[in-house]
Chain A
Amino acid sequence: MPSDSLVVAKGLTKRFGDFVAVDNIDFEVRSGEAFGFLGPNGAGKSSTMRIIGATSPASDGFIEVLGLDPEFHGSEIRQRLGVVPQEDNLDPELPVDANLIIYGRYFGLSRSLIKERIEELLAFAQLSDRAKDKVDSLSGGMKRRLTIARSLINQPDLLLLDEPTTGLDPQARHLLWDRLYRLKQDGVTLIITTHYMDEAEQLCDRLVVMDGGKIVAEGSPAALIQKHSPREVVEVRFPVGVQEGVVNRLEDLGSRIEALPDRVLLYTDDGDRAAEEIHKRGLFPETILTRRSTLEDVFLKLTGRTLVD
């Protein structure tokens, strides 16, 4: 095992009864990187995260976190982790600051040390003026930021973020991304799950694409796109009922074509030329848009499905 790997998984499998949620996956997370699990709902991302977080036993396979086996060293592993679960589980019976205090105590930190850290964490979460408020009075974005602040109370070596920005408005998302960049710069290793391809592209140095419990691709976002998709995509929308009749007349315009229920995607290295050609053929789409290929396109190619439905 290379000594700079914080997580190593081989043949990792998680079953719930007969159902296989995580199906024989291999991955490795290196120190200092931001590692992503990209996949749609039900792909098995959270199940994998909970195994890494030493709160859910693997059914099969090998897993080592911080050089330790979660089955036998759960407490020691969790001592050095920060965890942001998919659904916030703040303590509703305690106000904002006490949520941080008691969490620090769960990690065995002294009260004076916690006191030192809290002010900074509240500022980080932009909640300094809400310190005494009930958790239930916070907005979704505030709760999310508090959960992230809480996960940092023990200054973790490894931070697990399960869909950190799902359900947030764009402004709150960008604010969170900014916070996560800063953490990365401070040397914290991040593991992030998401079903947003822009989030994966923005935050992750390296990622695996998951679907149906399996890993279908891995690499850096740029490398994945380059490998699996031409540079550009032309998105063509036709008036209702027209698409079926004309799809076959677009097929030769790109190296690949995807007919989605509401639009046609044409993959090509020269989008503008393809768009021009569509007009020349007198097909009159409602809208036509040329853009760069994204991880969404990679996912579509690998699985035949979209990430967010």
Chain B
Amino acid sequence: MTTLPLRVVPRRFNFGRSGRIVERNLLVYRHLWGVLISGFFEPVFYLFSITVGFGALVGDITMPNGQVVSYAAFAAPALLAASAMNGPVFESFGIFFKLKYMRTYEGILATPLTPRDIAIGEITWSQMRGALYATAFVVVMWAMGLILSPWGLLAIPAAMLTGFAFGAVGMAATTYMRSWQDFDLIFVVTLPMFLFSATFYPLEIYPDWLQIVARFSPLYQSVDLLRGLVLGVIDWSMLGHIAFLVAMLISGLIMAGRRVEKLLVT
């Protein structure tokens, strides 16, 4: 038998295989233009509301470095970060459904694909949509004059990194969900994070203890990173934020792969 060559091929990461999960989802969503259209209107509505609403009430914001920016320019990158976080949260409902109620993954695992391929493929797919959203968001921000520095272009990959990090951790978390009710827990975590990660006002306004807590919030990493890029305030702390998000991404991926394996390979 010609099995010897197969034996010596090491087990290795095979991106092509997880790409096929992306292909499957493309086939499923081929006709769902609504998803893309909502991806465009969501930032428009958000940005419009902070520009004409809050922006008019709050006035300008003075940054720690003395820079004075409009409230809209201050809040817009934070909303981009929050939207990058929320995308995978909603995606996780679909993944839960597939894990729990559909036998689709079971059918997929009878092919050369592995649980890890499924985890990586689903997260990649969710982030391809995330990338589209982020691009639309940044384009709308730019059109509204809210991108104050050429560094702002890097907000797109930074938002994608955010989405990947939350997507990976979110998928891992989804595998622990027993019922739809458990999803309330996700909002118990993400809602305060959304409100208290220097999203709507500078960190310096919070009481000291909350400042310390907020600095360790995953969303804060993304908010501060995106805000710095969009406003053109570049410093070394950004590397710390990136490292935090990358660590989230990697540990989330490993965890998600293991958990999917535990659930589906018995």
Chain A interface (Cβ < 8 Å from any Cβ of B) = 3, 16, 53, 55-57, 66-68, 72-76, 78-79, 81, 83, 85, 87-94, 98, 101-103, 105-108
Contacts and interface: CB of A to CB of B under 8 A. Distances in A.
Given A16-B266, A72-B11, A90 B112 contact: no
B67 interface: no
Contacts of B110: 53, 55, 78, 81, 83, 85
A92 B112 CA distance: 21
A3 B112 contact: no
B107 interface: yes
A56 B104 contact: no
B3 interface: yes
A102 B21 CA distance: 9
B265 A56 contact: yes
Contacts of B20: 102, 105-106, 108
Contacts of B189: none
10 contacts: A55-B109, A56-B266, A72-B11, A73-B7, A74-B114, A75-B113, A78-B111, A85-B110, A101-B27, A102-B27
- 10 nearest CB pairs, A to B: A89-B103, A106-B111, A89-B107, A67-B3, A75-B112, A83-B110, A93-B28, A67-B1, A79-B112, A89-B106
B207 interface: no
A42 B9 CA distance: 38
Contacts of B239: none
A68 B110 CA distance: 16
B188 interface: no
B205 to A, nearest CB: 47
A92 B27 contact: no
Contacts, number: 80
Contacts of A57: 265
B148 to A, nearest CB: 43
B23 A76 contact: no
Contacts of A83: 110
Interface string B1-32: 10100110101000011001001100110000
Contacts of A16: 266
Contacts of A90: 107
A107 B112 contact: yes
Contacts of A68: 3, 6-7
Contacts of A3: 1
Nearest to A91: B104
Interface string B173-188: 0000000000000000
Contacts of A102: 20, 23-24, 27
A42 to B, nearest CB: 16
Nearest to B106: A89
B101 to A, nearest CB: 10
B106 A85 contact: yes
B3 A93 contact: no
B108 interface: yes
Nearest to B19: A105
Contact of A108 (B1, B27, B107, B112): B112
A91 B7 CA distance: 32
A105 B111 CA distance: 10
Given A67-B1, A91-B104, 13 more contacts: A56-B265, A68-B6, A73-B7, A78-B110, A79-B111, A79-B112, A85-B107, A89-B106, A91-B102, A91-B107, A106-B20, A106-B112, A108-B16
Contacts of A106: 17, 20, 108, 111-113
Contact of B3 (A66, A92, A98, A101): A66
A92 B101 CA distance: 11
A81 B110 CA distance: 8
A68 B5 CA distance: 11
